[in-house]
Structure 1
């Protein structure tokens, strides 16, 4: 069960301080480890760019525990229950084979379901919540290794879903699913900067899921529209539909062909591992009504941003009531930076970047680089005191505590 994998994150820029990594192959083995260790923390597919998953004790990698997919068809709601360490791209075709679908997926299908939920990972779609909003129930291992189930409708449910690993080890997840569907992807562009800003909300409502790309120059280079409709317009606010590209080993089909949801919602196929090791990331959320102001504010830093930037991806996400959600209370505009592997330079830039977003209520992604301290974070999350109380009740001896939690949430 002990892993010999190097204790590094996805990009090789975070070295975990844990004394070792354990890789159980069953929930029972995971429970035994939790019960005997004084400090333990869950570890997913290592796609975080900070120490959110770290611990001075034992890291528990759950990716070797079988998926054990269980589908329940209901009159009003259907669900899929699966192992938390399962990658989205692995389980999605099996959900589809049951005639069902997830409401959304992230751009990468390689990430684990449990890790994505814990840190607030998301796709795009103005009417679509983060991946965490699909949760109907979570099975936690508590400090003594016993299992407890938290349901979304429980009083503490909204505080338990996006938990950052501080409430226990999640071993199984129950997700709400819907009838299966087909999708297409089409690209439009380029958009002059001002045209895009004048119509940013409308552009991002032009499909089921819409993502835009920029390097903070004079234009938005491409808008990727994922639609459940068979027919789409030939232009979008004057920008033409670009020649399509079929799916290949490096990215999913963008040629307007209809295909399964699990092959169109992600940008990349499960067999492709884009940018692995060559990047660091930060992501920042502002209310959708402030999208144009946020982009203009950041464009003022273009001369400092561009030397370190691969690309910035712009997305939207619907409001929810999860206590630690960046979209808590209001629809948001997401500005995700995929930086070159320049961690020191990015860290030096982030204080100025985040200062420009602060007047607009900018919140950082929990699993990516940020300069915000505990005081700044506390001002952004009105339910944070309630979450701290929940942590104290669920983990009185701080078995699941982390330096990240202590530093950023004051747990």
Structure 2
């Protein structure tokens, strides 16, 4: 390639021969029919080599934007390159909403759902659960359309880019709604021990942030409809806007005034018009059963002296169960622990390994697009329909057009 292409964080330099920027779906089909290896580069917000290849990379960012609201106003069909921050205001103007949104609106819809990214709230599943239909080009260059009437949909949505190149998705939508956002500082550890599940249920979406320099919660972010006054579980209302990462500019964050505002201006943590950070970070995320949330926090606390020096911030949130075969929340209401690390792979990886060791008794499922060291054999045991997924990939990509070394390890 004439250009040096990296992921968003810059820790991965892609080894592809060429980067293609098709402007029509037909051009994508032509690329697939020409043969692989071929991988799709979404918004680059992955921290491992999932998207890497020694073949060709394809970005769908230049495809024409498609936002087609169904006549019954219960779904919307979008193109495979659109980002949440592009889609959300269009839906809002039409009086509609997504039930859930990415905390970072800069990421692509197709990339987010392919990795089961970001749930928030005990009543909200991850973003992939909103997919009611999927259109993709399989390894033979044929167009495939799946709906919820097809069992394959539940395997292909969180597909890790393996079944094919997603060119369009149909998403559930709901009537537009408004939310308030509040931030509370310094929620004491004793409150978390006594009330964790009540805390995570006390809003449409709740996030607890800590840098693990102490056992207390640095900030609690609550997105809810009802107004709030006074303290929250011993935490005091923030005296101004906050950024999740200590030291980062709060102007990048969404409104925390407690005033009602459209859903897409409150559900994300960050504003679309700002880049929330320089990308100088690494990320990991682990999902455990909701009932094990406090045990997971205790496990991290037991090694916080190792975690804190390489950590920027850790977020704790709840996620509802879903039916997607490779979702970390498959048939399991979950608590997720998300870690934003410093941009030093050599320093971070030993801590990740230690973190996975102390979490192991809780059977954590790592986020597919982030940094983890869990072996493929262990991962496969966590997904009851993993063999069904392997079969699905063989059927849709028999020649391995979309395979790469990372997928080879995961799939076997």
Q: Which TM-score applies when normalising by structure 1?
A: 0.95
Secondary structure class of the residue paired with 1:236 = coil
Partner of 2:176: 180
Aligned-partner Cα distance in 2 for 1:255–1:330 = 34
Partner of 1:92: 88
Tell me, yes or no, if structure 1 residue 9 matches structure 2 residue 7: yes
Equivalent residue runs for 1:2-401 within 5 Å: 5-74=3-72, 78-216=74-212, 217-229=214-226, 231-245=227-241, 249-401=251-403
Aligned-partner Cα distance in 2 for 1:249–1:51 = 32
CA deviation after TM superposition for structure 1 residue 219, in Å = 0.4
Q: 1:9-30 CA deviation, whole Å, 9 max, x = no partner?
A: 1111012222111111111111
Question: Residue 166 of structure 1 contacts residue 402 of structure 1 at CA under 8 Å; is this kept in 2?
Answer: no
Which structure 2 segments of 5+ residues have no match? 244-249
Aligned-partner Cα distance in 2 for 1:69–1:219 = 43
Secondary structure class of the residue paired with 1:199 = helix
CA deviation after TM superposition for structure 1 residue 234, in Å = 2.5
Aligned-partner Cα distance in 1 for 2:389–2:20 = 28
Question: Residue 285 of structure 1 contacts residue 332 of structure 1 at CA under 8 Å; is this kept in 2?
Answer: yes
CA deviation after TM superposition for structure 1 residue 4, in Å = 5.2
Change over 3 Å in CA distance of 1:225–1:70 after alignment to 2: same
Partner of 2:247: none
CA deviation after TM superposition for structure 1 residue 300, in Å = 1.2
User: What's the C-alpha RMSD, in Å, of the aligned pairs?
Assistant: 1.6
**Quick check: 142-151 or 123-132, which moved more?**
142-151
Question: Residue 312 of structure 1 contacts residue 335 of structure 1 at CA under 8 Å; is this kept in 2?
Answer: yes
Aligned-partner Cα distance in 2 for 1:259–1:374 = 43
Aligned-partner Cα distance in 1 for 2:12–2:148 = 32
CA deviation after TM superposition for structure 1 residue 110, in Å = 0.2
CA deviation after TM superposition for structure 1 residue 228, in Å = 2.5
Secondary structure class of the residue paired with 1:203 = helix
Question: Residue 198 of structure 1 contacts residue 292 of structure 1 at CA under 8 Å; is this kept in 2?
Answer: no
Aligned-partner Cα distance in 2 for 1:244–1:258 = 17
CA deviation after TM superposition for structure 1 residue 343, in Å = 1.1
Q: Which TM-score applies when normalising by structure 2?
A: 0.95
CA deviation after TM superposition for structure 1 residue 47, in Å = 0.4
Q: 1:357-377 CA deviation, whole Å, 9 max, x = no partner?
A: 111011100000000111111
Aligned-partner Cα distance in 2 for 1:321–1:281 = 25
Which structure 1 segments of 5+ residues have no match? none
Secondary structure class of the residue paired with 1:272 = coil
Secondary structure class of the residue paired with 1:190 = strand
